[in-house]
Structure 1
Amino acid sequence: MTELPARQPLLPDRMQQGDFFLCDIFDAAPKADMAGMEHPIFSISTKPDRNLRRYENGSNFVEITPSVKGIATVHDRDVLIYCISQLIAALNAGRDVSPTLRFSAHDMLKATNRMVGGDGYNRLRAALQRLAGTRIETNIVTGGTEELDGFGLIDDYRIVRESREGRMQELEVTLSRWVFSAIQAREVLTLSRDYFRLRKPLERRLYEIARKHCGAKREWKIGLVKLKAKCGSSSTDREFRRLLGKIIDEDQAHGHMPDYAIRMDEEGKNVLFISRGSVPVPVEDMFEGPLPSHAHEDARSAAPGWDPRYLEQEWRRWCGIEEIEPKHPGRHYIKFCESWFTKRGRPG
């Protein structure tokens, strides 16, 4: 007679799963995906934003459809920043990662400078609802992949454990393929920790834009109307100028904007972002990944007349400034050469 296996005295641990990444890096540098910094995906409104929005920049477009809860806000983005920061830190440490993350709600609130308490947990729950409900259609490529179908910023979330008082303790969040592709391709930039101290949604959006476009350069200029569009503002030009002017006045008085000072010309038509010198780019931070053997030959076709070795150095330096570590260096280098030639033409 075959003996039945002895029953274990404990029930199986149903919390053990191998398909999620456990967030346990407490000092991970804040990082955000560049596509989200470049384009106005998040609402800067302080009220529920339920307006369908479409933004176009050249051949790129992004269309955002809200849920009944409204479009995900710039402050809701804190959840994504926390997840991205954890995954990038893990990749840098040589660890395997997954688009599904499990983390402590308390740790996430502390890391993003949020209040820890009943209201903080309620706001976090609302943020998750908006992140999951907001739908996006875009042709913007992340990690070499173009997602033309509609998708959310997160695919889903669930509260794994709650306290007896009903407060969430552990969460599980699954990032969309679009966001996870950007992480795998390291299409991210490091943010100042003071980003989480900025009170106004517009201030956060301005910092994101400056961090993406000014980077480590001395300064960067943009027209007011174009800046308003990149911010995703629905205000009139006059009202946007007033709101921006108030932030500029406060920055001149207190220097509170991280990494960049903001100024406007006398006519109020152009905005200048000036680096405070706090985003250094050492030479050793130039991208050093290998290129395929045919890369220089392809570069000659992509940028006729230019020395491919010179373009390679410019590309490696640019990747360092923008903190890009391409997943497919060869394709990324050729795309850079094509863009270089489009802007400058033949040398001389």
Structure 2
Amino acid sequence: MKLKHKLTADLVTFVVIFAVIILLVTFTFFRFNVSLNSLINEAEPTLKAMDHMLLDVYQDNILLLDYLNTQNYNEALDYDKEVEISDLRCARVEDDLQTLIVLGVISDQNTIDQYGLANELHHDVEAARNKLLILHKKELATNENLTLEKNALLDEHGTLFREAVNKFTDIVDNVDKRNKVLRTKLLFQSRVYFFFLFALIVIFLVVLLFRIRSFSLVLVKPIREMIDKIDTFVDGNFKIRIKSSEDISEISDLQTNLNNVFSVVEAVANRKPAERTSIESKLLKQEHLDVINLVKNNALKKRKTTMTDIRKSLDITHPTAISRIKILKEKGYIELEKDGRDKLVNLTSKVDF
């Protein structure tokens, strides 16, 4: 596979996998998020209805006390209009909430049950109030003394009133508590999501770096092998060949071309021994040529060359000088001669360039 295509395929595959994981995580998060938000949103109209009912029973209680203080029938009729307006306002709120339940906007059964119970209590309070209003109007219209009956109904109304207020308050408190729990869960889920997203990005970058490193090794390994084989070839082993790498076509083509060059050079060297020496000489590394040229120039000037001279003239360490001289000696380009504590370096007849 060509290098460009391999890089593109690997990158696209990696990005697609990462994108799919991100989408799955995001989808899961938003699904739970929407679920919790819907529960919170469902509670809002219920809370509004509870607040309205609570306000309505308080207003009705005040209105009832004012109504019972009326002294004539016409004055009582005026209060009837206010009661009717209050009931219509409350009925609209109840109708709106029932519509939301029917449409499925409010679907939590616990919320629906709580609202149903509160609605029944509200109607009970209104029913007790209406009985008192009718009895009081009867008393005004007939001048009968209905105080005992009114007091009994007033006690009943008071009991229902307190029960309704307590129930409405409990429902509101419970819904508020549940909403706080849901909001805490939402906040926790959001933090978990962003932490997980951050972790995924870090993992993505780490894996990407490892993938780049792995891919670079795929490139470096055959290149390093080619360099080693070329060094061996330059050192005179013309039979050496590079094992072809099939992973990347560009490198495989380069290896094939180098092997072809090696084969041609080997064929020429085997066919003409004199050419072999010339080829080997031309393939010498510059660091070895520097040593030969130094000794050669000194010889032309009728000067001897020692190991110390080579080390100082080429500004290299003693081990490096020994290593280079050893290779040249093995190839037959120089000879060593003892000279006191040092050694003389002389060129052989093989050096004719």
TM-score range relative to shorter protein: under 0.3
Which of structures 1 and 2 has the bigger CA Rg? Answer: 2
TM-score (norm 2): 0.21
Higher strand share: 1
The answer to which structure has the higher helix fraction is 2
